[in-house]
Amino acid sequence: MFFKPEDFAKQMQEQMEKVFVEKFNEMIRNPMILGSMNKTVETSLDNKVKVNDLTAEWLTKMNLPTKQDLARVMQYLQQIEARILNLEEHLESLSDQLQTLAGILHAQFRATAPSTAPAAKSKSAAKPSAKPSAKPSAKSAPKKPAKHAKKGK
């Protein structure tokens, strides 16, 4: 058999992975390391709480909104948006009902309106009276001569 570099690399990777997993499992089970990791996580969380408190205090002193303030505003905006959407739906429903009602009233009006009215009455009612008005209309008013602009150099 000949030496194959691909096989060698694959065997080396598998061996390294096996050793790494064994050593990592030993390290995780070690009480000293677990205690140290526990203290590190606790310290990190305590520091995060302190930083958050100091940041909120600083923002309040600078009259700027905190994360909680922004969350409350966002929640309020979402409530307003939901109410607006609800009102839009209600308005659309009312508009549909109004259109239906207008159609019904229009149909009733057509059904009760007299269809055999004399044509002479409808024409005379539509014509305006021919009384002369005291003021001349804009069309009959005399036009003023236009002033010519002087040409500059």
Kindly state whether residue 109 falls inside one of the protein's structural domains: yes
29 and 70 in a single domain? The answer is: no
102 and 59 in a single domain? The answer is: no
Across the range 127-148, mean pLDDT stands at: 51
Look at the chain and report how many structural domains it folds into: 2
pLDDT for residue 145 is more than 60 = no
Question: For residue range 75-104, what is the model confidence (pLDDT) as tens digits?
Answer: 999 999 999 999 999 999 999 999 999 999
24 and 60 in a single domain? The answer is: yes
Kindly state whether residue 2 falls inside one of the protein's structural domains: no
The pTM of the full predicted model, rounded to 2 decimals, is 0.42
Kindly state whether residue 146 falls inside one of the protein's structural domains: no
Kindly state whether residue 4 falls inside one of the protein's structural domains: no
59 and 87 in a single domain? The answer is: no
Domain boundary among 39, 64, 89: 64
Give the chain as a DSSP string: ----HHHHHHHHHHHHHHHHHHHHHHHHH-HHHHHHHHHHHHHHHHHHHHHHHHHHHHHHHTT---HHHHHHHHHHHHHHHHHHHHHHHHHHHHHHHHHHHHHHHHHHHHHHS-S---HHHHHHHHSPP-PPPSSPPTTTSPPPPPPPPPPP-
Across the range 23-45, mean pLDDT stands at: 91
Kindly state whether residue 135 falls inside one of the protein's structural domains: no
71 and 109 in a single domain? The answer is: yes
Kindly state whether residue 147 falls inside one of the protein's structural domains: no
By the 8 A CB rule, do 65 and 59 touch? yes
Question: For residue range 100-119, what is the model confidence (pLDDT) as tens digits?
Answer: 999 999 999 898 877 655 55
60 and 72 in a single domain? The answer is: no
Kindly state whether residue 139 falls inside one of the protein's structural domains: no
Per-chain mean pLDDT for the chain: 82
Kindly state whether residue 122 falls inside one of the protein's structural domains: no
pLDDT for 20 equals: 95
54 and 16 in a single domain? The answer is: yes
In which domain, by residue range, is 60 found?
11-64
Half-sphere exposure of 49 (CA within 13 A, CB side): 6
Least-confidence region, from 7-11, 19-23, 125-129: 125-129
